[in-house]
Amino acid sequence: MNYRYAPEVQLRAGKFKVPVGLEQLQSDSQGYFIERGYPSQLTPSRDLGLQLHGEVLGGVFNYAVGAFNGLGDNRTSSNADFDDKKAVAGRIFVHPFKGTDIAPLKGLGLGVGASYGNLEGANGLPNGNGFFSDGVQQWFSYTTGSGTNVNVTADGRHWR
């Protein structure tokens, strides 16, 4: 759900793309290659959250900042938040030549995005973040267990 007060101030809530990786924010039809780059596998995709975003100066400057569950795609079937730890993500993007007549530079954009979270896994909870192959098959995740099983769980802060 997106509430648009003005192009400069919009509020989005629900499950949507986290504003970090440029490739993740672009539609598949807008890509130049069949697959996304390997660095995109390290960026969050979709997550439940609340985000403030907008376009300033007719789209020359874009911004987005939000708070998210920190689970991402394919983590749990219920999208539930089991550890009450939230992730924060933000992004700024500038199209410095958007309003000029210099055709080769009109589409040039510069931006930066980042996220921060504190992930704490525990026995008995669903698997936390993992890594996925190009075919979106999970090839690594922290295991969970119960009783006397000794497992490695995610614990600590992470930046992207």
Q: In the prediction, which pLDDT does 80 show?
A: 60
Let me know if residue 7 belongs to a domain: yes
- pLDDT score of 94 more than 70: yes
Signed CA dihedral, 14, 18, 19, 23: sign only: negative
Q: How many CB atoms lie within 10 A of CB 149?
A: 9
Instruction: From residue 53, give the alpha-carbon distance in Å to each of 64, 105, 130, 146, 158.
Output: 4, 25, 28, 42, 23
Q: Are strands 110-120 and 155-159 parallel, antiparallel or unpaired?
A: antiparallel
Q: What pLDDT score was predicted for residue 21?
A: 81
Per-residue pLDDT, 30: 73
- Residue 6 covered by a domain: yes
How do residues 26-53 score in pLDDT, each as one tens digit?
A: 777 777 777 777 777 677 778 889 999 9
Is residue 138 assigned to a domain?
Answer: no
Domain boundaries, position 94 = 2-117
What are the strands, taking DSSP E only, across the chain? 2-6, 9-17, 46-56, 61-68, 87-94, 110-120, 130-132, 138-141, 155-159
In a domain, 90, yes or no: yes
Query: For residue 159, is it within any domain?
Result: no
**Per the structure, how many domains does the chain have?**
1
Q: What pLDDT shows up at residue 126?
A: 52
> Structure pTM?
0.71
Residue 8 lies in a domain: yes
The answer to whether residue 3 scores a pLDDT higher than 70 is: yes
